[in-house]
Structures are given as structure tokens and as C-alpha cells.
Amino acid sequence: MGYGGRVARTALTTRAAADTLDAADPLAGFRARFALGGSRRLYVDGNSLGPLAHDVRAALEARTDEWRDRLVTGWNEWVEAPAVVGDRLAAAALGAAPGQTIVSDSTTVNLYKLAGAALDARAGAIVADASDFPTDRYVLQGLAQRTGRELRMLETDRVAGPQPAEVEAACADSAALVVLSAVNYRSGALARMSEITAAGHEAGALVLWDLCHAAGAVEVDLDAAGADLAVGCTYKYLNSGPGSPAFLYVRSGLQDELRSPIWGWFSQDDQFAMGPTYEPVAGVGRFMAGTPPVLALAAVDAGAAMLAEAGLARVREKAAALTSLAVDLHDERLAAFGFSLGTPREPHRRGAHVSLRHRDAWRICRALIERADVIPDFRAPDSIRFGLAPLYTRFVDVWDAFDRLAGIVESGEHEAMDDARRRVT
Amino acid sequence: MGYGGRVARTALTTRAAADTLDAADPLAGFRARFALGGSRRLYVDGNSLGPLAHDVRAALEARTDEWRDRLVTGWNEWVEAPAVVGDRLAAAALGAAPGQTIVSDSTTVNLYKLAGAALDARAGAIVADASDFPTDRYVLQGLAQRTGRELRMLETDRVAGPQPAEVEAACADSAALVVLSAVNYRSGALARMSEITAAGHEAGALVLWDLCHAAGAVEVDLDAAGADLAVGCTYKYLNSGPGSPAFLYVRSGLQDELRSPIWGWFSQDDQFAMGPTYEPVAGVGRFMAGTPPVLALAAVDAGAAMLAEAGLARVREKAAALTSLAVDLHDERLAAFGFSLGTPREPHRRGAHVSLRHRDAWRICRALIERADVIPDFRAPDSIRFGLAPLYTRFVDVWDAFDRLAGIVESGEHEAMDDARRRVT
């Protein structure tokens, strides 16, 4: 294990030092398994969309062959895929025992299903975070309006993320549901999942974790944290492709008590009897809805398998080391140019991305993409995110990306960029 | 156009006559564009899952290359894909002008979104069909329970399908929403869409059509029928793969009035501003929810393109001819063995599949698959469905499939099959 010297601050941040870290990296071999090409491009946006892995492409092709060869009879196995892939993903990335996780639908739809079910089962307010990802806030706004619940938005410190005491205070006087992200989408702050879950439980609330920026980046342990519910996507650190299906988790002991608001045929007991009356199947399968995306499930399975092979402990340690290098480079190269760090400084309090705040972040981000072949992303109003996914990001990539970024702000090259925000990325 | 002699009853049904029809078939060239192989297998279940087309595989591979090469910057175009592909599908198969159709999520989730929106906008009961596909009935049962609405289930003649007068009667005393399938999943009965829609409107209801078994099989004309809402899948006659994303249609004049119950970030006005408060975008895009399935959308686009190239009028005419041949063969070869026809006899009152009813349908279906290399499907309690998708089904395939089926029931071979319904198909 070669990351220890990085997590503890070193005296001088040089490219040679980054090279040394790469040479000792036990995960270094994984990079060749991604189709990242040999170009000058530096991809530091795996926290938004992971790149294509050869294994994932092969899995998609194999599943397409299965469709070709088996046609409709393939459904005899495919019908189990959301649960089978869910269990594999749970073991690889979520710290969840089998029978609690399925993969299907989008994060948004899964959040709607689980939050809706929780509100049917518990009285009281909804507690969420004003700094959380938009779709979480919007889904909860809609459910709050529909169910007449109070939606209490934490105004957390954007860099530090939500604290247990804040959640405890917000839950006072009856709370039904707490929804928070384990890793904040902008700052990368890692929430104290166990303590916050306990605070929610103390108030009688169910606690739902959004793991989009956590799954595959940090050591999530849903079962140990006592989490009730979770959702998350697979197109970031699980590298399963743009719009690949999301997962959902429902704690075993809670499954029989909850019902999805969407009563679909894939959640029906004895589905192919096609009987007259809806009766949800026992277990987490009751949170399925319609026909699952069979081809895409093969990609998620392959993405989860790579993560299982790498091992979450190593992934997590490398993430801490990569982001520590990024923090050091921010301090050394960028702080003098109007940047501030939008990410916790303590390595184990953050995920695998860092956020660099600057009043001209949009134009700097454009210059990085268009002039410097560095691909990060911009998040309103003032953040450039560098996602440092451990499976394929090298320490020299971090060094080079910051070097190019420093070059842009040193030269003022970004000032020539268009300020109009017409593009998604 | 070589199908006319088939639609009108001919004197004698021979394999040579089927050959003649194939020789004159203007769509005959499409079969070679599917990966159906040269085996003895006869696939007559395209009404459940369409086969792999070479164009679809190529589209999936090209989109995967795009992901590899463009990474996150691909989203600048992909973000429009649900609407772009929706418009192409609308033109190819739905009779819908642009700006009313999107492709994303499953049929179940889309039905939930549209039916939920309709119930928010209209007071009164829900009218549906006890013979309709399970997920439609289940979704509506859930919404009825949640909103305290009466769910009036038509007890229609299973073969004939719902009639305008029945809908009119069921809508008496205030109806909010009528949900029916354009083509019944078991019988193949084609509903009189314009007349039924008018009957619903007369009662002040919104009318939602499930097009799963109609899109790509009959000449759907949503705009001309005055339909308000529609949903449907793309894995049957659009050949886009198992679990490929579904479509939804919202009539232009209705879009601003309705809101999805699922408030997701892909339906947010100025999405990437990621603002604090949900405000749905104008237009049909407000019925998006989460991140759309980008790879699968390429498959739907390719499937729709093939249908557009074939032309819906020819597809529809061939479907009538293929199913007419099937009806004749049922009468000549099967009726004496306890079969009855579960499909309308008038060619223009049915879709592209026929239903053969028999008290021993399950075991006969197993024998067809396991002993005769004919792949239809079973639908409880007593139906074998033969889907005769016009793009790749030959008239001789119909003849051969019925010949093998007749061989099984003549010999009693099915009586040795296991009656346990452990398999999906």
C-alpha cells in the first residue's frame, strides 16, 4: 500500500512525487481496463460520468448476444437480474447483506418510491438539506406538497456538510423522514452516517441516504450504520454508462411494512399469474415497478464486479490520497489566484472529489475543457469539481490537471471565454 | 402490394400459397436485417420481445463509442435525446406531431406519472378495463386508493375489446380519466380509439391510451383520435431490446395544465441552474423525471428508424394479412382439437398478434418451445399468443408454426409436458 505518505502532508508537491505514488499504487493496473485512450486529455469528471471500461463493453455485448440468441426465453433469467445485480452491488459497494438492494429505474424514481413509502408509514415532517442535489430537493418538495408535510431544510455549512446535532434539532417535534446525501455533490463532504442515522431514529424518523456520490468512492456500510433506506446511481464510480439504472436499498426489517406508491407488475406477488388485484411480493422486490432495463443491468453488474475486485478499502484509501494531493496543489498553486477550497480538509471527511471555488468558475471551467484538455465540471454558482475516481486516476493526472489549471489562471486565458451558460458541461 | 389476396379469404391454405405471398411481400427485405439466424426456430413472440436487428446493435455500439470518446461532454447532446427520439418515434409510429412525446422510464412509471397528473387535474372516477394488462390495472388501483377515487372496471367481451357505448356508460356521473389499451394484450382486439376518446371527452374525462401492443403494429393516430395521453413500450414491435425505455405522449394543449407527481431534475426549468425551488419546464419535458437511459435511447432511435423506413401503412396491411392467415389456419387445423380463436375475426379490428385459446394452453405452449422450436408465449389462464410482427415474420413462418402446433395436438405430445408454471416464458 503506497498512499500513506500522501495522506500525511509532504514537504513539497512535485510531479516526481506524484510519479512515485503511482509506481507504488496497488490499483494502478485498473487504469488499462478503461478505454481512456492515449491522448493528452485528463478526465477528472468520473464523479459525474465514469468512463467506459472494456469489461463493461464486453458485458453489454454479451447481454446483446443473449437477447439475440435467447429472445423472449431470456426472461426466465433476466427477471431476477435487478435483485441479483443488486446483491452484487450491495456486497461490492454498499455494505449491505443480500436481499435488500435492487437495481432498476432512475435515482429520482427510486427516491420517489422510497420517500413516498416512508411518508405513508410515518407521521411528521421531512428533514432534508438545502445544499443537497436538486432532484432530491425537488422530489421531496413534491411529496411534501402532496402529503401536506412540513419540509424542513437544513442550512448546513456547505463545505462541512450536515452535522448530527443539526439533524437532531431539525427532527424536534416529530419527523417522519430524514433524507441526506452521504457525500455532498458539490463539496464532497462525507456525512457521519451512523451518528446522523441514530439522531433520526431517536426522533422516530426513517433515514434515507442518497449514495450517488458515495457508492464506489467511500466505504459505505449501510447495515452497520442502521440505515433504513438508500438510493444511488451507477454511472459515476460504478462506471455503468450514461443514464444507467439506479439502485435502491430497503433494510430487511422494514420491507414488509412499506409499500411503493407505484404499484407495478414487476412488484406483484406471483407476477405471471397476472391476477386481478395488486398484492406486493414479500421483500425488496416490492419496490420494483415496470420492466427492468436488461441490457443496462449487465453493465452495472460488470461495473460492480470491477469494484469488488479492487476492494473498497483500497479504493477508499486511494481516494483519500488523491484528494489530499489535490488539496495540497490547491493551496500551493491556486489559493493566490482567488480560489478557495470547497471541500473538507480532513481526508476521511470527504469523498473522491474536490471542489474548487472561484468567482469566475464557469469561464475557468470552459478554458480547462476547450484549451487545456482537462475535463472537470462546473456546479452553480461557483464550483469547479475535480472527480478523482481511484480506479483509473493517476497521481500524475492530478498533478497535471492542477498544473494546467494554474497555467490558465496565471495567464488569464479564461478571461477570453464566453460567459454564456448554454452548455450542460 | 401483395397482401390483398390473403386478407380476403382464399379457398385453400397451403404452404405454397404462403410462399407466393412472401414472394410478393414488399417488406420481405427487412427480415435479413434481423439477427434471426438460419435455424429451424420460428419466433412468433415479437409481441412480447422483438428480436435484435443489426441496425439496433450498431446503434448501441455507436452510442457506446460516443460515451467512450466524449465522456461527460456527450451530455450536451444526450440531454435532448428523450425528446428527439420521442419525436422520431411519434412520426414513425404514433401519428403525433413533434413536441408531444418523450422516451424515458418504463411504461409503468410513465403511466403512473400521466394518470397521476390527470387525476390532479380532473375530478371523478377512473374508468379502466378488467381485461387490460396487469400493470395498468395495478397502477390505477394504487392511484385510486391514494386519491380516494372510484375505479370502475369495464367487464368487456374479452375477444371484442372495449366498445364506445360501454365506455360512455361507465363514464356516467363524472369521470376523471379513462385508461384503455389500443390493442388488448391477450386478444389483440383493436379499440375504436377515436370513438372511445370522444365518449370519454363527452363525460369530461381525459383519455389515456396504452399503446404497448399497438405501436408499430397498427396505424395509431393519436393526434387525429384526439387522445389526451398515451404510454407504451419499445421492446415489442419497435425491437429496442429487453426492458428498453418506454414513451409517453401528452397532447400539446394539455401540457401546461398538467404536472407530473414525480418532481425530478430532468423536468426542471433551467435544469443546470440547480435552483432551490422546483418549477417544471414548459412542454412535454415536464414529464421527465431522472437521468434518461442514454445507451438504450440509441436502440429506440434505430428501432423507430426501421419502422419509419418500412412505412406504417405497409406494416399494418401486412399485419392484417399475416393474422388472417393465422385465423384461417386456426379454423382449418386447430378448431377440431379444442381450440377457439381469442382474437377478432375482422382483420382491421385486431393488431399483429392472435390468441389461441385452449384449456391445456400452458402444456401446449411448453411443447411448442421445447419440442417444436416454435416460440410463442402463454398468457393466463388459457391463451397461446402468436405475435406476427410484420418486419420479419414470413407467411411461411405462420404456416410452419401452425403446422407444428397442429402436429403437437394431433399427436398429443403436449400431454407429456410438465404442468408446473415455474418459468416466465
pLDDT at A272: 87
- Model confidence at B138: pLDDT above 80: yes
Q: How far apart are CA A221 and CA B219, in angstroms?
A: 53
- Cβ distance A235 to A244 under 8 Å? yes
Q: In the predicted model, is pLDDT for residue A188 greater than 70?
A: yes
Binning pLDDT at 50, 70 and 90, where does residue B425 land? Answer: low
B186 a catalytic residue: no
Contact state of A272 with B377 under an 8 Å Cβ cutoff:
no
Chain B residues with CB inside 8 Å of A244's CB?
293, 295
CA distances (Å), A276 to each of A264, A422, B100, in order?
Answer: 13, 50, 32
User: How sure is the predictor about A425, in pLDDT bands with cuts at 50, 70 and 90?
Assistant: low
Query: Cβ contacts (< 8 Å) between B291 and chain A: which residues?
Result: 106-108, 233, 235, 242-243
With CB atoms and an 8 Å threshold, state whether B108 touches A262: yes
Residue type, B285: G
Q: What average pLDDT score do residues A345-357 get?
A: 97
pLDDT tens for B38-95 read 789 999 999 999 999 999 999 999 999 999 999 999 999 999 999 999 999 999 999 9
Nearest CA in chain B to A273: B380
Q: Is the peptide bond before A376 cis (omega within 30 degrees of 0)?
A: no
Tell whether the model's pLDDT for residue B287 goes beyond 60. yes
Upper half-sphere CA count for residue A241 (Cβ side, 13 Å)? 33
Q: Residue B125's CB: how many other CB atoms inside 10 A? A: 21
The pLDDT value recorded for residue A12 is 62
Residue A65: band (very low, low, confident or very high) from pLDDT cuts 50, 70, 90: very high
Query: What are A96-128's pLDDT values in tens digits?
Result: 999 999 999 999 999 999 999 999 999 999 999
* Pick from A149-153, A204-208, A377-381: least confident: A377-381
Between CA A91 and CA A127 the distance in angstroms is: 29
Instruction: For residue B76, give the chain A residue with the closest CA.
Output: A424
Question: Using CA atoms, how far apart are residues B188 and B194, in angstroms rounded to an integer?
Answer: 18
Closest CA to A240 of A160, A318, A302: A302
**A1: confidence class by pLDDT, cuts 50, 70, 90:** very low
- A-chain residue closest to B54, CA distance: A68
B78, B138, B233: residue with CB nearest A263: B138
Find the DSSP H helices in B37-122: 54-70, 75-78, 81-89, 107-121
Residue A10's Cβ-count burial label (10 Å; 0-12, 13-18, 19+) is middle
Residues of B in contact with A424 (CB under 8 A): 75-76, 79, 272
Helix (H) and strand (E) counts in chain B: 14, 13
Distance CA B72, CA A377 (A): 9
Nearest to A36 by CA among B201, B258, B67: B67
Question: Residue A38 has what pLDDT?
Answer: 77
Q: Where are the domains of chain A?
A: 4-33+312-416, 56-309
Closest CA to A325 of A391, A383, A395, A394: A395
The CATH code belonging to domain A56-309 is 3.40.640.10
State mean pLDDT over A338-348: 96
> What is the CATH number that goes with domain A4-33+312-416?
3.90.1150.10
CA A222 – CA A237 distance, rounded (Å): 17
A270: phi then psi, degrees, rounded to nearest 5:
50, 60
pLDDT higher than threshold 90 for residue A10: no
Please judge whether A45 and B71 are an interchain contact, meaning their C-beta atoms are less than 8 angstroms apart: yes
pLDDT at B331 over 50: yes
- The CB density around residue B39, as the number of other CB atoms within 10 Å, is 9
pLDDT of A396 over the 80 cut? yes
- Are A296 and A241 spatial neighbours (Cβ–Cβ below 8 Å)? yes
Calpha distance A197→A208 (Å, rounded): 9
What CATH number was assigned to the domain covering residues B4-33+311-416? 3.90.1150.10
Give residue B2's pLDDT.
53
Q: Are B401 and B374 in contact (CB under 8 A)?
A: yes
Contacts of A292 in chain B (CB under 8 A): 106, 243
- The residue of A238, A291, A297 whose CB has the most chain B CBs within 10 angstroms, and thus the best one to mutate to test that interface, is A291
Residues of chain B in contact with residue A274, where contact means CB-CB under 8 angstroms, are 133-134, 379-380
C-alpha cell at A224: 452497520
Asked whether the beta carbons of B53 and B32 are under 8 A apart, the reply is no
Considering only CB atoms, A134 lies closest to which of B35, B235, B268, namely: B268
Nearest CA in chain A to B73: A425
Residue B11 pLDDT level (bands cut at 50, 70, 90): low
How close B295 gets to chain A, by Cα (Å)? 7
Grid cell 402468436 is found at: B386
- Pairing mode of beta strands A229-232, A247-250: antiparallel
- Mark yes or no for CB contact A241/B64 under 8 Å: yes
- B212-236 pLDDT, tens digit per residue, is 999 999 999 999 999 999 999 999 9
Residue B321 clears pLDDT 80, i.e. is over it: yes
User: What is the spatial distance between Cα B376 and Cα B85, in angstroms, rounded to a whole number?
Assistant: 30
CB A266 within 8 A of CB A75: no
For A87, phi and psi rounded to 5 degrees? Answer: -65, -40
What confidence score (pLDDT) does residue B342 get?
Answer: 97
Q: Which candidate in A80, A138, A268 is best for mutational testing of the B interface (most B CBs within 10 A)?
A: A138
Cβ separation A106–B290 shorter than 8 A: yes
Alpha-carbon distance B90 to nearest alpha carbon in chain A (angstroms): 21
- Ramachandran region of residue B74, left (φ > 0), alpha (ψ -120 to 50) or beta? alpha
CA–CA gap between residue B96 and residue B304 (Å, rounded): 14
Smallest CA–CA distance from B369 into chain A, residue:
A73
Q: Are A246 and A105 in contact (CB under 8 A)?
A: yes
Q: How is the beta sheet containing A206-210 ordered, strand by strand?
A: A101-103, A247-250, A229-232, A206-210, A175-181, A125-129, A151-154
Distance CA B209, CA B340 (A): 28
C-beta atoms of B64 and A57 within 8 A: yes
C-alpha cell, B303: 428501432
CB atoms within 10 A of CB A246: 27
Q: Is B351 helix (H, G, I), strand (E, B) or coil?
A: coil
Contact B113, B230 (CB under 8 A): no
pLDDT in tens, B336-384: 999 999 999 999 999 999 999 999 999 999 999 999 999 999 998 899 9
The question of whether B34 is a catalytic residue gets the answer no
Interchain pair B108, A375: CB under 8 A: no
Confidence of residue A273 (pLDDT cuts 50, 70, 90): confident
Interface contacts (A, B; CB < 8 Å): 248
Whether B75 sits inside 8 A of A266 (CB atoms) is: no
Beta strand spans in B211-299 (E): 229-232, 247-250
| CB contacts, 8 Å: B106 with chain A | 105, 264, 289-292
* β A101-103/A247-250 pair status: antiparallel
Please list every residue in chain B whose beta carbon sits closer than 8 Å to the beta carbon of residue A294: 241-243
Mean pLDDT over the full length of chain A: 95
DSSP output for A265-313 = GGGBTTGGG--SS--BPSSGGGG--S---HHHHHHHHHHHHHHHHH-HH
Confidence bin at B1 (pLDDT 50/70/90)? very low
Tens digits of per-residue pLDDT, A30-63? 999 999 987 899 999 999 999 999 999 999 999 9
